[in-house]
Amino acid sequence: MSSAEPYISENPRPETRPVIRQLDDSAINRIAAGEVVERPASAVKELVENAIDAGATRITVEIADGGKTLIRVTDDGCGMTPEDLPLALSRHATSKIDGSDLLNIHTFGFRGEALPSLGAVGRLTITSRAAGHEAAQIRVSGGKLEPVKPAALRAGSVVELRDLFFATPARLKFMRTDRAEAQAISDTVKRLAMAEPSVGFTLRDVSGGGDGRVTFRADPLSGDLFDALHGRLASVLGREFAENALKIDASREGIRLYGYAALPTYSRGAAVAQFLFVNTRPVKDKMLTGALRAAYFDFLSRDRHPAAALFIDCDPQLVDVNVHPAKSEVRFRDPGLARGLIVSSLRHALAEAGHRASTTVAGATLGAMRAEQPTATGAPRVYQMDRPSYGARSQSYAAQSPGQPHPASFNAPPSPGFAELAGAYSGRVTEAAEPPAAPGQPSDTPERAAPGAEALPLGAARGQVHENYIIAQTADGMVIVDQHAAHERLVYEKLKRQMADNGVAAQALLIPEIVELSDNDCAGLLGLADELAKFGLGIEAFGGNAIAVRETPAILGEVNAEAMIKDILDELSDQGESQLVQAKIEAILSRVACHGSIRSGRRMRGEEMDALLREMEATPHSGQCNHGRPTYVELKLADIERLFGRS
């Protein structure tokens, strides 16, 4: 095109002026349905929340073909009168608020959009009965309302949605497979089940007709809040989560945080086991998720994610839930207060857990040790006699005792040729063996509980194998400790305490480095200047949109200040906070701890091994190394006996 030719727009201006029109109710409802009902799981969420708001104690959800052809929600709530049914299908008609205060909300629903939206895109039937009234039924199909008619129902409500999105077939093209949609519905019901332990939930898949099959069931629980919640989490998230979860209960300035958070050694490869609730409403909030990640920041590697179910209770005036049509996002009046409460409460709980590690570590160990089962079917099982009493064992030891004295340890082998064999391995008992007890007297042999084991959770050291693993005997089992990983964590915690006490040394730059930023980035970074100064990074305004980096953490050595500043800004934009400087410093401390700890391959004396065990018991977070891996495995005697067929 030559410079003389005029440019012709591909979208020419219309010749006539556009006319503003008022959309009819049917179109309005279909537009609203696109915001409220994204997929079948969204419809289930809205209907189940309505049932909970109606005071239901038992809710049954039935679906077919992933909810595309049928969603039926039955509850025993307060129900509706025949006069209420047409009004319930009108836009912005609700019994949950009066419209005078949109912040003082105590129910799941309040917008009055769900039922009319569902009726606009599907075939909706509502059958309900309120106390003292006759049951009634109303139907709406593609936005066309039918008259109310009598029905048969004992109490509560039955809401049936068939052929979702039949009125908007274009939406059906965006649906996933029946299995994927059914899984999304299951996740939705489970989240609501965690929020309401006192309500019973049943999810049934009736695809293909008949009674179908129950895919999820949670009976109503009563009693103490934490007992009921713990029981519900066990049924929803599994027994392993309940066994390895720490109780959380803390309050600050009108906000209460409670729930359960798993030990760091019970981590997941993705953030699929993180459930957050605000005033019992399931939410997905970047700020809250970031706070959860920050609490576990020092205990998990970047490719591992914590598991938790946390509930925030506060005055509804302190949080705005009316920021998204699906009500899945919230806004706190003071987000820093909520974030700080999560971080401090979880870190306090993890510190109180001390050296505790998750039981799944022992389970995995037992699974790896389990002998391969015989392939022949019907092979007879080999049974062994019951474990003898201590008295019988003492007499047996005395009868089997040879005439010559026992060697003091594996390091002093009893016969020629065994010395070379013993030297090739590192299994040792450092203490001299006690002589066997006389018949009828209590035995003090190592087969009994270690002295003082009842007061020592990690037991007493009995030996070392392969110059890296300490074997300790506890009151009811044994412990295998990775000496390098354990000591690495102990040294790391000591270095962090020293850094907290003395601060992070800052290295002043001979020539300050000037970094040009945008208006927003410059203002946001200067707002964090005091926090960054705690970690040895000194910045100040340099005029315009520039900042001057005058100090960097001395422990990091020579750094690219501009690159660090930009990385911090990227983290702020993505997560709303930055832990980059702290992460770099603690990574250095971790490497120092790794190089300064007991190395694999070093033989340890008995008193050294016992001292390491005692320090682990007294040091928080010693159950996992600096990378989130377990530092020890505990095996119960009953589990060991099952490995050998003694159970």
- pLDDT tens profile 37-66: 888 998 999 899 989 988 999 999 999 999
Q: And the tokens for 69?
A: 């052809």
What residues does CATH 3.30.230.10 cover in the chain? 225-353
- Residue 565: alpha-carbon gap to chain centroid: 31
Rounded to 10 deg, the angle between the 286-295 and 561-575 helix axes is 120
Q: And the tokens for 401?
A: 């005792």
Confidence bin at 407 (pLDDT 50/70/90)? very low
Q: Which CATH architecture fits 459-647?
A: 2-Layer Sandwich (3.30)
> Comparing 407 with 367, which gets the higher pLDDT?
367
Q: And the tokens for 451?
A: 């002295």
> Comparing 592 with 231, which gets the higher pLDDT?
231
Question: Quick one: DSSP state of residue 39?
Answer: S
Q: And the tokens for 391?
A: 């008295």
> What's the confidence (pLDDT) of residue 413?
42
Give ∠ CA 77-82-84 in degrees, rounded to 5.
70
> Comparing 410 with 58, which gets the higher pLDDT?
58
pLDDT 10s digits, 578-622: 666 666 666 666 666 666 666 667 788 888 888 888 888 888 778
Dihedral over Cα of 469, 473, 475, 476: its sign = positive
What residues does CATH 3.30.1540.20 cover in the chain? 459-647
pLDDT 10s digits, 101-154: 555 565 665 555 778 888 888 899 999 999 999 999 999 998 888 999 999 999
Strand ranges across the sheet with 469-474: 460-465, 469-474, 477-482, 632-636
Q: And the tokens for 350?
A: 């993890």
pLDDT of residue 453 exceeding 50, the answer is no
pLDDT 10s digits, 166-199: 888 878 888 889 999 999 999 999 999 999 999 9
* Amino acid of residue 134: E
> What's the confidence (pLDDT) of residue 442?
42
Cα gap 30→51, rounded to integer Å: 23
Confidence bin at 255 (pLDDT 50/70/90)? very high
> What's the confidence (pLDDT) of residue 110?
56
pLDDT of residue 510 exceeding 80, the answer is yes
Nearest to 33 by CA among 167, 185, 144: 167
Cα gap 230→227, rounded to integer Å: 5
> What's the confidence (pLDDT) of residue 365?
60
CB 562 within 8 A of CB 512: no
Q: And the tokens for 220?
A: 């109503």
Confidence bin at 249 (pLDDT 50/70/90)? very high
Domain 225-353 has CATH 3.40.50.300: no
Strand ranges across the sheet with 255-262: 245-252, 255-262, 308-314, 274-278, 281-283
Q: Average pLDDT, stretch 477-497?
A: 83
CB 547 within 8 A of CB 565: yes
DSSP, collapsed to helix, strand or coil, labels residue 518 as coil
> Comparing 388 with 433, which gets the higher pLDDT?
388
Q: Which CATH architecture fits 25-217?
A: 2-Layer Sandwich (3.30)
Length of the chain: 647
Cα gap 46→310, rounded to integer Å: 22
**Cα-only R_g, the chain:** 33
> Comparing 217 with 487, which gets the higher pLDDT?
217
* Amino acid of residue 443: S
